[in-house]
């Protein structure tokens, strides 16, 4: 089977994902507007972009379906489908949508889809050799809704499913927090003490370190070989997630004990109850519209800060 008759699908190609991540990030930050030139038009309902002759243009669209009638250099759309009826010499990517390739259409680059499907009408779609199809078909409606209505990210919809999800979150984080506090009580206690003694310093160190790691990953993608940037990305992701878990557990214990001392009488004091109170508190904070984004940043900052200050307990205790 040749590359012309069937494209290979790779669902977890880290190096390819990292190479394209900077393109996606730039599109999210800039949100390019498609100019209404002679070769490009928008339908009266403003839901579809029609591309006729644009062989030298990278077409970016947000919340609209893109139809390539004749030619384009590349297409990237968020919250819409890409329908190729003519020729696209470069890559075609859709986030929260599908890529549809008509029978006689041609795609010269990679096809990248997050939250959608690749649907060629021909059994042997016209593609260049050694080009890839990267596809993740889950959460198509959620991604489409998110890209078409970004405010939903900051203001979640309350429903029975949302309530069930938060209930499971409470149970999961209670088990994780109680287990970690039982297995490594010394590490958790020292982290709680460091945070209580110098909260602002821990948060500041963690926040700026998180920013530096983000800049470092972007720089590695731009200047290092693909395999090195992929390794750095995986290592950084693992470090940040471990720090997030550790920092969240420490905050569960710290806030839970403070609320326990403040609200409950002296007779109702136990480690498990304090952890449960802390888990419920942070789950409620992370469920509030708009507030949850700041709370999530705070959790990452605290986690990274606690990990980076873990080797200097004497200095922190003296302050």
Nearest in space to 112 (alpha carbons), one of 75, 142, 139, 146: 75
302 and 161 in a single domain? The answer is yes
Domain end, chosen from 150, 168, 201, is at 150
pLDDT recorded at residue 150: 60
Helix ranges (H only) for 66-198 are: 140-148, 160-183, 185-197
Helix ranges (H only) for 184-290 are: 185-197, 199-223, 226-263, 271-285
Assigned domain for 46 exists = yes
**How many domains, in total, are found in the chain?**
2
173 and 145 in a single domain? The answer is no
Question: How crowded is the C-beta side of 315, counted as CA atoms within 13 Å?
Answer: 6
244 and 137 in a single domain? The answer is no
pTM: 0.55
117 and 261 in a single domain? The answer is no
Domain end, chosen from 150, 182, 209, is at 150
**Tens digits of residue pLDDT in 28-73:** 444 344 444 447 788 888 788 888 888 888 888 887 889 998 888 8
pLDDT recorded at residue 87: 92
Secondary structure of 45-63 as H, E, C letters: CCCEEEEEEEEEEEEEEEC
117 and 93 in a single domain? The answer is yes
pLDDT recorded at residue 143: 65
124 and 268 in a single domain? The answer is no
**Distance from C-alpha of 127 to C-alpha of 3, rounded to nearest angstrom:** 8
Range 266-273, long-range pairs (CB < 8 A, 24+ positions): 271/178, 271/181, 272/178
**Tens digits of residue pLDDT in 256-282:** 998 888 887 766 678 888 999 999 999
281 and 200 in a single domain? The answer is yes
Nearest in space to 135 (alpha carbons), one of 165, 101, 85, 102: 101
Q: Rg of the chain over CA atoms, in angstroms?
A: 24
Cα 41 to Cα 33, 46, 65, 69, 98: the distances in Å are 12, 10, 12, 11, 21
Q: Domain range for residue 217? A: 156-317
Q: Which portions of the chain are predicted below pLDDT 50?
A: 1-15, 17-18, 24-38, 313-319
72 and 194 in a single domain? The answer is no
95 by DSSP, 3-state: which? Answer: strand
Assigned domain for 55 exists = yes
* Residue-wise DSSP of 198-214: SHHHHHHHHHHHHHHHH
CB 78 within 8 A of CB 63: yes
Whole-number average pLDDT of the chain:
79
Domain end, chosen from 103, 128, 150, is at 150
pLDDT recorded at residue 204: 92
24 and 168 in a single domain? The answer is no
Cα dihedral 240/245/247/252 (nearest 10): 160
114 and 166 in a single domain? The answer is no
């Amino acid at each position: 089977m040749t590359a012309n008759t069937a494209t290979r699908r790779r669902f977890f190609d880290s190096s390819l994902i990292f190479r394209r991540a900077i393109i996606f990030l730039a599109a999210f930050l800039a949100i390019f507007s498609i100019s209404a030139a002679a070769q490009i038009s928008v339908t009266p309902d403003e839901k579809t972009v029609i591309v006729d002759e644009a062989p030298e243009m990278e077409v970016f669209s947000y919340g609209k379906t893109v139809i390539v009638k004749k030619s384009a250099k590349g297409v990237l759309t968020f919250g819409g489908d890409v329908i190729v009826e003519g020729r696209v010499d470069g890559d075609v990517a859709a986030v929260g949508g599908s890529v549809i390739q008509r029978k006689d259409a041609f795609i010269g680059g990679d096809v990248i889809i997050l939250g959608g499907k690749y649907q060629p009408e021909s059994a042997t779609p016209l593609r260049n050799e050694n080009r890839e199809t990267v596809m993740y078909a889950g959460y198509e409606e959620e991604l489409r809704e998110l890209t078409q209505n970004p405010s939903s990210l900051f203001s979640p919809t309350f429903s029975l499913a949302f309530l069930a999800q938060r209930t499971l979150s409470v149970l999961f984080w209670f088990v994780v927090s109680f287990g970690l506090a039982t297995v490594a009580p010394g590490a958790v206690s020292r982290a709680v003490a460091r945070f209580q003694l110098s909260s602002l310093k821990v948060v500041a160190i963690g926040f700026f370190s998180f920013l530096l790691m983000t800049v470092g990953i972007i720089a590695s993608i731009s200047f290092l070989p693909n395999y090195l940037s992929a390794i750095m990305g995986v290592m950084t992701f693992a470090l940040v997630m471990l720090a997030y878990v550790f920092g969240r557990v420490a905050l569960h214990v710290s806030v839970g004990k403070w609320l326990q001392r403040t609200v409950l009488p002296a007779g109702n004091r136990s480690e498990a109850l304090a952890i449960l109170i802390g888990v419920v508190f942070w789950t409620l904070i992370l469920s509030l519209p708009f507030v949850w984004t700041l709370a999530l940043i705070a959790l990452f900052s605290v986690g990274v800060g606690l990990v980076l200050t873990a080797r200097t307990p004497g200095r922190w205790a003296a302050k």
